[in-house]
Amino acid sequence: MQRVAKFSRYLPDFGWAPVVVAGEVIPGRATDGSLAREVGHVRVVRTPARSISTAVARVIRPFKKLRRSKSAADGRGAEARAPVATHVRPPLSGRIARWLGVPDDAAYWIRPAVGAAIELGKREEAGVVLASGPPFSVTIAGARVAKSLGVPLVVDMRDHWRDNPAARWPTDWHRRRSEALERRVMGAADVVLAVSDPIADEARSMGAKDVRVLPNGFDPTDLPARRPKSTGPLRVAFMGKVYFGHSDPSAFLEAVARTRASGSEVAFDFVGSCSPDVKAHAAALELEGAVCFHDYLPHREALEVVSRADLGLVLIDDRPGAKASLTGKLFEYLGMGLPILVCGPEDGAAASLVRETRAGTIAKAGDVADISRALTECANAKRRGEPLADVDPRTVAAYDRRALTRRLAAILAEVVEGPESVSGVPSG
């Protein structure tokens, strides 16, 4: 939720006073206190999260423990399984939750959030509702609040809803219900913001009247100075979470093994949450000395690891809807001046951005040979002392979070006061 946090941080600079309604922190979920401190001046009202998957997990936990105990007694524990390459599957609780909640895991949060937001909006005399998803339950809640308060609605789509490559509906009824909800929200919105053109196209096809592309970006105040070593292996860093059906690292790990076997040294830092299957796959490829799994780190600590890399990695599976992906980490790589390796759709938004900014190299998603080719070329360039990219600073500057927030403030002014207000941003 960096996008929302950064908007909240900088909107007061442009005359807007954001008040945030959000769910309570879910126990066990990773949180970043440094981001929270950045928006300490912003009022946040917390409502019960009502996470469906968390509730399901509590119910099934005793049964899972019983099954593990039985497997251990039968000599079929985790140590008996051979490591295999696999897509990262959602946990059982998440798969069950898909049956119970439409459009997502936060569906039961909508009712308490709407009640709290309406009460707050009346008291604070809110001028506009900004609702950002996923989870898209937030946008449903936002539409109800805006209607009740009689104020404009701005919906911010950080990802596909209908065309999300990670969406796996258990039945056609669930899919149709989700699409009906999306049409209702898109039709109610005065303006829909989208982080990329393909997401904007989806919003229009689902009935949005006015769609603007407002991409993700980077905050220069977050970014440490780069300090890669001029010698040694080509160091690649990935920052973020591996998503089922969206960013499977198996082909990349196999490409690292192939590249090393051909004589080019490559080291890989994985910063973020990942499945034990990913670590097992790295071990099966005998990459223990070349791959370092840092697990979850606070944002600033994660960026410190990335600052030592020669390449920032973006992983996007080539699946329906994936071409729209413009992950936040890509913009932070750009802001640091870190050359980028996109392993994803060659005609996707991420690849297009890297070409536009001359920021790095593109390799075909899931193609071990092509990824190995890109790694080898970069390793050879490093060995010769050549730059791995020729970044255009003028195009990169447009993605500064403060500049993007200025654009958001102008849009909010327009929906509240009319197009003539764009030149002067009102308080709200």
In a domain, residue 156? The reply is: yes
CA nearest neighbour of 216 among 14, 391, 5, 428: 5
**How would you label 51-65 residue by residue, b for 16+ Cβ within 10 Å and e otherwise?**
bbbbbbbeeeeeeee
Instruction: Examine the pLDDT at 426 and tell me if it is beyond 50.
Output: no
How does pLDDT run across 183-232, given as a tens digit for each residue? 999 999 999 999 999 999 999 999 999 999 999 999 999 899 999 999 99
Q: Which of 336, 386, 345, 385 is nearest to 363 (CA)?
A: 345
Q: For the sheet containing 153-157, what is the strand order?
A: 129-133, 153-157, 191-194, 211-213
- The answer to whether 409 touches 14, Cβ cutoff 8 Å, is yes
pLDDT value at residue 240: 86
Instruction: Give how many domains the chain has, as a whole number.
Output: 2
pLDDT tens digits for range 67-115: 666 655 565 544 444 444 444 456 777 788 889 999 999 999 999 999 9
203 and 263: one domain? no
The answer to whether position 80 is within a domain reads: no
Give the β-pairing of 129-133 and 360-364: unpaired
pTM for this predicted structure: 0.82
Check whether residue 213 and residue 268 sit in a common domain. Answer: no
- What is the CATH number for 126? 3.40.50.2000
118 in helix, strand or coil? helix
**Shared-domain flag, residues 283 and 341:** yes
User: pLDDT exceeding 90 applies to what percent of the chain?
Assistant: 67
From residue 179, give the alpha-carbon distance in Å to each of 102, 147, 173: 10, 20, 10
State the residue range of the domain holding 38. Answer: 2-52+89-217+401-423
Same domain, 236 and 308: yes
What band does 295 get if pLDDT is binned at 50, 70 and 90? confident
String of DSSP letters for 194-258 = ESSHHHHHHHHHTT-SSEEE----B-GGGPPPP---SSSSEEEEEES---TTT---HHHHHHHHH
- DSSP assignment letter at 11: G
3-state helix, strand, coil in the chain (%, to 5): 50, 15, 40
Average pLDDT, stretch 20-36?
A: 73
- Both 195 and 256 in one domain: the answer is no
Looking at the structure, do residues 139 and 243 belong to the same domain, yes or no?
Answer: no
Residue whose C-alpha is closest to residue 154's, from 107, 209, 198, 111: 209
